[in-house]
Amino acid sequence: LSVPLQLAAFVSFVCFAASGSPGAYTALAVMEAVITALFFLLYLLKLDKKLSWLFWPLADIFNSVIAALFLLIVCLFAVIIKTNKGTLAGGVSG
């Protein structure tokens, strides 16, 4: 679930940044991509084994669900507003 979300957030970020859309669109897309990348790095470096006080799979699922909802809401706003073609493309790709 994390990799497709990170890819969608990155593609949306590129479209929003290229179109010069408002900062909230690009900021949320960057934030979601960075948080998902940090979770990926956490698992890659096996830090989840060292930090055993948190149940990491549940935290990852919770992050993915919240990120998907935020990205969905922002992309729906981008599609509804349609300020330019880049914003529309970012909303559709998200």
Q: What is the pLDDT of residues 56-68, one digit of tens each?
A: 778 778 877 887 7
Helices (H), 1-94: 2-19, 23-44, 47-50, 56-81, 85-93
- Predicted local confidence at residue 45, as pLDDT: 87
The encoded tokens of residue 76 equal: 């729906």
**Residue spans of the chain under pLDDT 70:** 1-3, 5, 21-22, 82, 86-89, 93-94
For residue 87, give its domain range: 2-91
Domain count, the chain: 1
Percent of the chain with pLDDT over 90: 0
Please compute Rg for the chain using Cα positions: 15
